[in-house]
Amino acid sequence: MDGILLIDKPVGLTSHDVVDYIRRRYMLKKVGHGGTLDPLASGLLIIMLNRATKLSQKIIALDKEYIAEMTLGFSTTTGDLGGQVIEKAKDDGYLKLAKYQIEQVFQKFVGEIEQIPPMYSAVKYKGVRLYKLARKGIEVSRDPRRVKVYNLVIEDIDLPRVKFKIRCSRGLYIRQLCIDIGRELGYPAHLSQMVRTTIGKFSLDSAHKLDKILNEPDSEKYIIPLDIARKLI
């Protein structure tokens, strides 16, 4: 049972929750995932079984695509709806933004950009995960990281919400991108929805619902063998 599973992660579960479910389902010791999805996000999660866990760094390094929604008007401690509100807009000007204004700002974030990782992230500071410090109310200085946005397209504007599709390199935080875009527009913002649609050549269209994997007696048939997985990475 060496290979990978393409899971359509539901909202509400952590990536580690999914790993635990799969570990118990197949009674395996070595199970990992190829890139975290926040609990409030859904979509493609690659689960690696047994020897396939050695592919972890290669999978994590793959480019990713998301469909996300930014909401203007307030920001939160976590950058999404899971946190507490920390700033509200002083006026309702964000409801009157013109389409061209929003498009101009979005275009500023295409290409190689610098992004400061959010406090609620797995980035380490002196050996400690930032999110562990954030939960204690501690904020530390973080160095900006260079990341790439290959494509950033607005799909729908229904203020205060802006739906967009993005293809980006590893290390980019969509939550932070929404905050930065909102700041550039002059208003606090947060990530209100997100679905990961692709990781490298792997697509959400080929993924399976977690319930299906856990409940079908012969769900082993959904495992992509290690030799095939290697060719796709």
Q: Domain map of the chain by residue range?
A: 3-62+200-232, 66-197
CATH numeric code, 3-62+200-232:
3.30.2350.10
- Provide the pLDDT for residue 173: 94
Both structure tokens of 45: 């999660």
Which sequence positions are flagged as catalytic? 38
Give the residues across from 67 on adjacent strands: 165, 195
Answer whether 3-62+200-232 and 66-197 agree in fold.
Answer: yes
- According to the model, what pLDDT value does residue 69 have? 98
In the predicted model, what is the mean pLDDT of the chain? 94
Q: Do 223 and 213 touch, CB atoms closer than 8 A?
A: no
- Cα angle value 8/13/15 (rounded, 5°): 70
Cα–Cα dist 163/146, whole Å: 24
Q: What is the pLDDT of residues 176-191, one digit of tens each?
A: 999 999 999 999 999 9
Q: What is the pLDDT of residue 75?
A: 97
Q: Give the chain's residues under pLDDT 50.
A: none
CA distance 199 to 175: 18
CATH node for 66-197:
3.30.2350.10
> pLDDT at position 32, please?
96
The pTM is what?
0.92
What angle do helix axes 174-185 and 99-107 make, rounded to 10 degrees? 130
β-bridge partners, 75:
87
